[in-house]
Structure 1
Amino acid sequence: MSPLASPPPGLLTATVLDLPAGSPGGSVELFLDLYTSEAPLIPARAFMLTPTAAPPRLPTGLELLPVAGKCLEGPGFGRYVAALRQALVAAIDASRIDVLHLQHLAFGATPALIRALPHHPRIALVHGTDLLFAEAHRDQLQILRESARAADTIVVPTGAMADHLLRLAPQLDRRKITHIPWGIPDQLLATPPPRPPRTSASHLRLLYAGRLTAEKGAETLIKALAPIQGVELSIAAPRAQFHALAPLLQRAGVRARYLGWLRRPQLWKTFTEHDVLVMPSTTLEAMGLVALEAQACGLPVLYQPVPGLNEALAASGLATDFTHPAALARDLDRLRTTPGLLSSLRQAGYANAARYPLSVTAADLAELGRQLTLNPPSPAPQGHR
C-alpha cells in the first residue's frame, strides 16, 4: 500500500484496548501513538479502562470505560464482556463510526466492540499477548478463533505472527491476513536524542527495558549474567515487577541499577546513555518496538532470535543465546573488545529503524479502512457468546 494513502474525510475509527490507562507495554504505546494526541494519525474514538489509581496524565483523545471485573475465563468473563459492551453502547454514536479496529483477537474488548457495533467493517490487529494467552487459556483460544472468523481483515506486523495465528486457528482463511509492520514515531527518526561521548570503556553498559513478565526472559538474563565480569546492568521496568525480581538478583549476585518505569522521552534519552539493549525474550515478539526505538537512538541490540524479533532485526542487531551463559559471555566480550563492532551495529540499527516510520503504519491501516468502507464485506458470522 502507498505510504501516502489517507482516510477519506470524516472516516472515524472505534477502538478499545481493555487495559487500564497507564499500563506498560509496547501494545499500549502503539495504541496511544496511533489514536491519541491533538492530531491523531488515525482519527478515532479510542478507549481504555479506568485505572484504580489515576494515571499522571491522560493523552488527548483517550477516553475511559468505567468497567471492572476483567478476567480471562469462566462465567466472569462473559459478565465482563457484557459490561464492556454496555459501556461502549452508552459512549458511542454508532452512526458516526466508519470502521472498527479490534485490538487483539483475544481478551474482552474485541467481542464487546463487535457486539456494540455489529454492522461495521472490522480490522483486527494481532499483538503478541493475544496469541500467548490463547495458548494458555481455553476460553481465550475460543475467543481468538471466533474473533478471527468475525474480522474482515486481520493485520499482523510480521510473518511469524501470521504463522503462529494459523497454528492456533487452522481453519482461518490465510487470504484474510495482511502484513503491515508496526512503526515508531516519525519525530524520533527525524530528531533522535544526541548521544553523549563515551568517557570510559572499562565496562559494557547493558540496558533491559520493558515488562518483566515470564516471556520477556529477564530471569534467563539474570542467571546468564551471574558469572560474567565487565558489564553493568540497568533495568527500566514497572516498579512492582522489578521488586518481584529482586530476590533472584540477590541470589545470583547480580547488581542492577533500577531506573524506574520511564516515559518515552526519558527512555529515549536513557538509550543514549548505554552501550547495548538486551532482549532475552523466550517465545515470541510481535515485532519488538522497544528494539527499534533503541536502534533509532543509536543503541545496538543484543537479542534472542525468537520469532518476530529475528524478522524485525535480522542482521541489524546481534543475535545470541541467553540460555547458554558461555555463548552470552562470548558475544558480550566481542562487543566490548572488537574494534568497530558497536559502531557498525549502531549504523545498521539506524538504517533498520528508518524502515519503520509510524506514519506508514497509520497510512496503510487507513487505506485498509478506506477499502472496507468503499467495498463493504458480506455480514460476518456472529460467533461470540
Structure 2
Amino acid sequence: MSPHEAAGPLAATFLDLPVGSPGGSVELFLDLYTGERPPIPARAFMLGWSSPTHRIPTGLDLLPVAGKCLEGPAFGRYVAALRKVLAAAIDPARIGVLHLQHLAFGATPALIRALPLHPRIALVHGTDLIFAEAHRDQLQVLRETARVADAIVVPTGAMADHLLTDPPTRPTCTSSSHLRLLYAGRLTAEKGVGSLIKSLAPVPGVELSVAAPRAQFHSLVPLLQRAGVRARYLGWLRRPQLWRAFTEHDVLVMPSTTLEAMGLVALEAQACGLPVLYQLVPGLSEALAASGMATDFTHSAALARDLDRLRTSPGLLSVLRQAGYANAARYPLSATARSLHGLGRQLT
C-alpha cells in the first residue's frame, strides 16, 4: 500500500466524458485524481481507447465503451456496458469510497451498480442539473443519485496551487487603446456567447479573443459574421498556454446564462491577474462576488456602459486585479482535496 492510500480511503471515480474533452469539469477531475502524487488517491476513469499518439495522464484509466447517450433504451444499454467494464476493472476490496462525478449521466449509475456497497459522495458540476431539466431519463438518474448519496458536494471553485505562488508575469503597461476581452471555454448554449456577440456588436473600442474547441468556434463564425463582430481565435489552449493568454488581455468575460457550479476558468484568470466581467448567475455570484465586476451581457447598453467604465475609470482594472488575487487565494486545490478526502474518511 502506498503512503497516499494509507492516508485515507482509495476512491473510485469516473467522469463520463472522452479523454481529451474540454471544460472545467475535466480540468478539476484531472487535477484532483491524476498525476504522480494526486491530491486524492483514486482509481480514476474516463472514456476512450489507448493510443500511442495521445498522452494519457498518469493514474487515469480509459474505458473503451461506445454508445454514450442521454435517454431511451440505448441509455440503459450504455449504463449496463459501463457497469460491466467497471466491475472487471476494480477490486472492491481496495476501494473505500465512491466519488460520483455529476448527479446524472451514465458514469454515476454504472459506478453505483458496479460497487453497490461503498459509501457515495456525489459532486455537482452544473451540466448535470442542466441536462436533467431537458431529459427525463437524466432527471430520473439525478433523483435516484440524490436519494442514495451519503453526501452531495457543490464545489464553487478549485485551482492549481502553484498558480498562486508562480503566476505568469503580466506586462506593466499596454499601448493598446482598446479593451482586450478574452472568452475561454466551451461554446455551448448555456455559456451565453451568443448574447455576448450580439451585445458587443455596437460597442466601440473593444477587441475579442476566443479560446475554445475548434469545431465549436467554426460553428460560431456565422453569428460573428452576421453581427459584424471580429474575433481572434486562439485555439483550444492547454492550461499553461491559457495562463499566458490571461496576461495578454485586460478582462475575462463570463456571459453564462445559467448556473456555474465551479467557474474554474474565472478563478484561474484571477490568480493570473486578469479581472473578470461576469453575468450574475448562481455559482459565479458566489465564487466571484465583488472580486469581479457583474454586468448584463443580454443588454448591449448595460454591457457598453460597464466596458466603458473598465476602459476609462482610472485604477479600476488595478483594483479588480488585486481583488481577484485575494479571491483566488481562497480556492486552492489542496483545500478542496483535503475536504473531499476528509469527508471520505468520515463515511468509511
TM-score range, shorter chain: over 0.9
Q: CA deviation at 1:182?
A: 3.2
Q: CA deviation at 1:56?
A: 3.4
Partner deviation per Cα, 1:206-248 (whole Å, 9 max, x = no partner): 0000000000000000000101111100000000000000000
Q: CA deviation at 1:156?
A: 1.1
Q: Which residue of 2 aligns with 1:95?
A: 93
- Aligned partners of 2:127 and 2:294: how far apart in 1? 23
Q: CA deviation at 1:190?
A: 1.2
Q: Which residues in structure 2 correspond to 1:1-385 (within 5 Å)?
A: 8-9=6-7, 11-50=9-48, 56-157=54-155, 181-373=156-348
Partner deviation per Cα, 1:286-326 (whole Å, 9 max, x = no partner): 12110000000000000110111111100000100111101
The 1:333/1:53 distance shift into structure 2, 3 A limit, reads farther
Aligned to 1:294, the other structure's residue is in SS state helix
Q: CA deviation at 1:54?
A: 7.7
Aligned to 2:288, the other structure's residue is in SS state helix
**What stretches of structure 1 move > 4 A for 4+ residues in a row?**
51-55
Partner deviation per Cα, 1:321-351 (whole Å, 9 max, x = no partner): 1111011001000000000000000000000
Is the CA contact 1:277–1:302 (under 8 Å) kept in the aligned structure 2?
yes
- Aligned partners of 2:6 and 2:288: how far apart in 1? 34
Is the CA contact 1:300–1:342 (under 8 Å) kept in the aligned structure 2?
yes
Partner deviation per Cα, 1:107-158 (whole Å, 9 max, x = no partner): 000100010011111111111000000001011000000011111111112x
The 1:52/1:244 distance shift into structure 2, 3 A limit, reads farther
Partner deviation per Cα, 1:146-180 (whole Å, 9 max, x = no partner): 011111111112xxxxxxxxxxxxxxxxxxxxxxx
Aligned residues: 345
- Aligned partners of 2:53 and 2:304: how far apart in 1? 40
What amino acid is aligned across from residue 240 of structure 1 in structure 2? A
Alignment identity in percent?
81
Name structure 1 gaps, 5 residues minimum: 1-5, 158-180, 374-385
Aligned to 2:226, the other structure's residue is in SS state helix
What amino acid is aligned across from residue 109 of structure 1 in structure 2? A
- Aligned partners of 2:328 and 2:126: how far apart in 1? 20
The alignment's C-alpha RMSD in Å is 1.4
Aligned to 2:84, the other structure's residue is in SS state helix
Aligned to 2:249, the other structure's residue is in SS state coil
Name structure 2 gaps, 5 residues minimum: none
TM-score (normalised: structure 2): 0.97
The 1:61/1:266 distance shift into structure 2, 3 A limit, reads same
Q: CA deviation at 1:10?
A: 5.6
TM-score (normalised: structure 1): 0.88
Is the CA contact 1:21–1:55 (under 8 Å) kept in the aligned structure 2?
no
What amino acid is aligned across from residue 319 of structure 1 in structure 2? A
